[in-house]
């Protein structure tokens, strides 16, 4: 369950695109919170300062009507989400379940060694 105390108040979700996938995230929130909304575990336990110091949350993006121009970059902990923005690249520290990381269904990822020991 998502702890809504984490998020700035919002009335609706907006659609953005991340690495080619459309996703819905809460309006009026910093992008790193939006990443947390779609990938609670990996972002909550990720290596992020949340205050603009570490740069681990960096991303690259374009906005509507800007295709073909150079991507801009920003820090997702400082950047408020904009409807229809297109995120083209993420810092290696930003792992989003179902997008650039396998979806974690419940009890956590089991590594190959763990699985091998059971057989």
Name the residues that contact ligand FES, by CB under 6 A. Answer: 48-50, 52-57, 75, 77
Handedness of CA 78, 52, 100, 63 (dihedral sign): positive
Q: Find the shortest distance in angstroms from Cβ 85 to ligand FES.
A: 17
Tokens of 97: 């379940």
d(CA 24, CA 79): 17
Maximum pairwise Cα distance, the chain? 54
Q: Which residue is nearest to ligand FES (CB)?
A: 77
Q: Which is nearer to ligand FES, 15 or 55 (CB)?
A: 55
Categorise residue 109: left if φ over 0, alpha if ψ from -120 to 50, beta otherwise.
beta
d(CA 85, CA 89): 12
Q: Which is nearer to ligand FES, 61 or 111 (CB)?
A: 61
Q: Find the shortest distance in angstroms from Cβ 75 to ligand FES.
A: 4
Q: Which is nearer to ligand FES, 19 or 54 (CB)?
A: 54
Q: Find the shortest distance in angstroms from Cβ 59 to ligand FES.
A: 10
Q: Find the shortest distance in angstroms from Cβ 1 to ligand FES.
A: 24
């Amino acid at each position: 369950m998502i702890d809504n105390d984490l998020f700035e108040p919002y009335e609706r979700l907006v659609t953005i695109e991340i690495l080619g996938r459309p996703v819905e995230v809460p309006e009026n929130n910093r992008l790193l919170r939006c990443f947390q909304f779609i990938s609670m575990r990996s972002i909550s336990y990720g290596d992020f300062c949340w205050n603009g110091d570490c740069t681990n949350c960096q991303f690259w993006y374009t906005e509507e009507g800007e295709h073909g121009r150079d991507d801009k970059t920003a820090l997702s902990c400082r950047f408020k989400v904009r409807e229809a923005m297109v995120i083209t690249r993420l810092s290696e520290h930003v792992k989003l379940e179902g997008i650039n990381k396998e979806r974690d269904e419940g009890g956590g990822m089991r590594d190959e060694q763990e699985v091998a020991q059971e057989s």
